[in-house]
Amino acid sequence: MKMRAAVLERFGEPLAVQEVELAEPRAGEVLVRLHACGVCHTDLYTASGADPSGYAPTVLGHEGAGVVEAVGPDVTSLGLGDHVVTLFSPQCRECIHCLDPRTNLCLAIRERQNEGFLPDGTTRLSRGGEGIRHFMGCSTFAEYTVMPEIALAKVSPEAPFEHACLFACGLSTGLGAAINTAAVRPGATCAVFGAGMVGLGAVAGCRLQGAERIVCVDLSPQRLELARGQGATDLIEGGEGAVEQILEMTDGFGADYTFEATGNVAVMRQAVEAARMGWGLCTVAGVAGRGETLDVVPRLLITGRRIAGSSFGGVKGRDQVPALVDRYLAGEIDLEPFVSHRLGLDEVNRGFELMEAQDGIRSVIEFS
Ligand SMILES: NC(=O)c1ccc[n+]([C@@H]2O[C@H](COP(=O)([O-])OP(=O)(O)OC[C@H]3O[C@@H](n4cnc5c(N)ncnc54)[C@H](O)[C@@H]3O)[C@@H](O)[C@H]2O)c1
Ligand SMILES: [Zn+2]
Ligand SMILES: [Zn+2]
């Protein structure tokens, strides 16, 4: 079939919205008609050429929500009309990682996905007979996508698409960092560094876990106000003095749980330093630049602090994204403040501009 899609032709150039070919789903694959897709830093990072593992041409986008339009052979868990959220982090339910509750890093299709191919090593996207690669296994800056069944979460049809798509990346990452990775205890004191989509999700996750005090640290006063709306009880301006302020607020001890959601290694260090001696757990969700390292005084660890990394919030996507969406539908999370701009597919480059200007939390592309 023919469809419109935003193609990254060359790094550093605007995406080119154009007509491309999408082939039918093969065994284990599903055709999804997209209704909404968030614009994320990772898309921009790849488009800019800064990601050394990036490739072009490719159709970007990985925060999609839509409806199943057709299924290939052997697809058993999804059917026509199902509402789905795309998962760059799949869940096959069979590999040793999927069978272990300690991780969500499914091993089934990692290598092929990283190369821009579907699990059988080919692509469904093309133009004039030349293949176009899939981005993060998703390629959702397009009217339709073909994805493996194991990379789609079936969610309630009651969730509006523009909100459902937020669960495809940053929101679930933040919520899961608090709920899964840190497993914040009721009554705890938490400190969240960064109030973008990930950090705000972590603030909401700490609140849902019953934290008593949630300190949020960011450079932007507007973003700190959004954090208050998600349950932050104390707001701190980021920078040099942030750790000291958190220590002062906690009788000199630090927070039971800290979260880093900026991608800045100096802030990661602050998040470790702001964790309580004895049992403080620092969860790192931000993605640092290539080659950067985290500099921590080992004494902080000997005296009981721990550091954990969290990819997609430790969320096993097919099982947990539907459950998170249900909590949103039950009124436990307010997502309206996160959708700052609604754009058409033709305006996708404007979405990048808004992100670079830190204008709002998420621009969402809506497909008519
Ligand atoms: N682990 C995962 O699976 C996963 C998934 C999605 C995103 N991420 C990563 O998480 C990070 C955050 O993503 P996002 O979409 O929320 O980004 P974002 O850019 O929207 O938010 C980052 C926030 O950090 C704030 N900040 C910058 N410097 C600061 C400082 N010194 N002190 C306090 N706050 C500071 C910024 O003001 C901004 O509000 C990025 O590194 C992103 O790549 C990780
Ligand atoms: Zn993303
Ligand atoms: Zn698996």
- Per-residue pLDDT band for 51 (boundaries 50, 70, 90) equals confident
**In 3D, which of 218, 221, 164, 175 has the Cα closest to residue 195?**
218
Q: What is the pLDDT of residues 1-23, one digit of tens each?
A: 999 999 999 999 999 999 999 99
Ligand index nearest the alpha carbon of residue 316: 3
- For ligand 1, whether the C-beta of 141 sits within 6 Å is no
- For ligand 1, whether the C-beta of 80 sits within 6 Å is no
How far apart CA 195 and CA 208 sit, in angstroms, is 17
- Per-residue pLDDT band for 52 (boundaries 50, 70, 90) equals confident
Q: What is the pLDDT of residues 210-267, one digit of tens each?
A: 999 999 999 999 999 999 999 999 999 999 999 999 999 999 999 999 999 999 999 9
Q: What is the pLDDT of residues 334-347, one digit of tens each?
A: 999 999 999 999 99
- For ligand 1, whether the C-beta of 267 sits within 6 Å is yes
Ligand index nearest the alpha carbon of residue 172: 1
Ligand index nearest the alpha carbon of residue 100: 3
Separation of CA 134 and ligand 2 centre (Å):
15
Listed residues: CB within 5 A of ion ligand 2? 40, 42, 169
Separation of CA 223 and ligand 1 centre (Å):
12
Ligand index nearest the alpha carbon of residue 260: 1
Amino acid at 120: D
Quick one: pLDDT at residue 129? 92
The answer to pTM > 0.85 is yes
Cα 194 to chain center, whole Å? Answer: 14
- Per-residue pLDDT band for 289 (boundaries 50, 70, 90) equals confident
How far apart CA 95 and CA 106 sit, in angstroms, is 7
Average pLDDT of every residue of the chain = 97
- For ligand 1, whether the C-beta of 198 sits within 6 Å is yes
How far apart CA 313 and CA 233 sit, in angstroms, is 22
Q: What average pLDDT score do residues 48-76 get?
A: 95
- For ligand 1, whether the C-beta of 199 sits within 6 Å is yes
Separation of CA 366 and ligand 3 centre (Å):
31
- For ligand 1, whether the C-beta of 172 sits within 6 Å is no
Tell me the best of 169, 198, 244, 258 to mutate to test the pocket of ligand 1, counting ligand atoms within 8 Å of each CB and taking the most.
198
Known catalytic residues are 40-42, 62-63, 92, 95, 98, 106, 110, 169, 362
Quick one: pLDDT at residue 87? 98
- For ligand 1, whether the C-beta of 181 sits within 6 Å is no
Separation of CA 107 and ligand 3 centre (Å):
5
CA atoms within 13 A on the CB side of 84: 35
Query: What's the 3-state SS for the chain?
Result: CEEEEEEECCCCCCCEEEEEEECCCCCCEEEEEEEEEECCHHHHHHHHCCCCCCCCCEECCCEEEEEEEEECCCCCCCCCCCEEEECCCCCCCCCCCCCCCCCCCCCCCHHHHHHCCCCCCCCCEEECCEEEEECCCCCCCECEEEEEHHHEEEECCCCCHHHHHHHHCHHHHHHHHHHHHCCCCCCCEEEEECCCHHHHHHHHHHHHCCCCEEEEEECCHHHHHHHHHCCCCEEEECCCCHHHHHHHHCCCCCECEEEECCCCHHHHHHHHHCECCCCCEEEECCCCCCCCCCCCCCHHHHCCCEEEECCHHHCCHHHHHHHHHHHHHCCCCCCHHHEEEEECHHHHHHHHHHHHCCCCCEEEEECC
Quick one: pLDDT at residue 120? 96
- Per-residue pLDDT band for 368 (boundaries 50, 70, 90) equals confident
Quick one: pLDDT at residue 356? 94
% of residues, the chain, pLDDT over 70: 100
Q: Which atom of ligand 1 is nearest to the CA of 42?
A: 43
Separation of CA 92 and ligand 3 centre (Å):
4
Separation of CA 336 and ligand 3 centre (Å):
33
Q: What average pLDDT score do residues 28-41 get?
A: 97
Tell me the best of 39, 40, 41 to mutate to test the pocket of ligand 1, counting ligand atoms within 8 Å of each CB and taking the most.
41
Q: What average pLDDT score do residues 154-170 get?
A: 98
Name the CA radius of gyration of the chain, rounded.
20
Q: What average pLDDT score do residues 26-44 get?
A: 97
Residue holding tokens 């800045």? 264
- For ligand 1, whether the C-beta of 61 sits within 6 Å is no
- For ligand 1, whether the C-beta of 245 sits within 6 Å is no
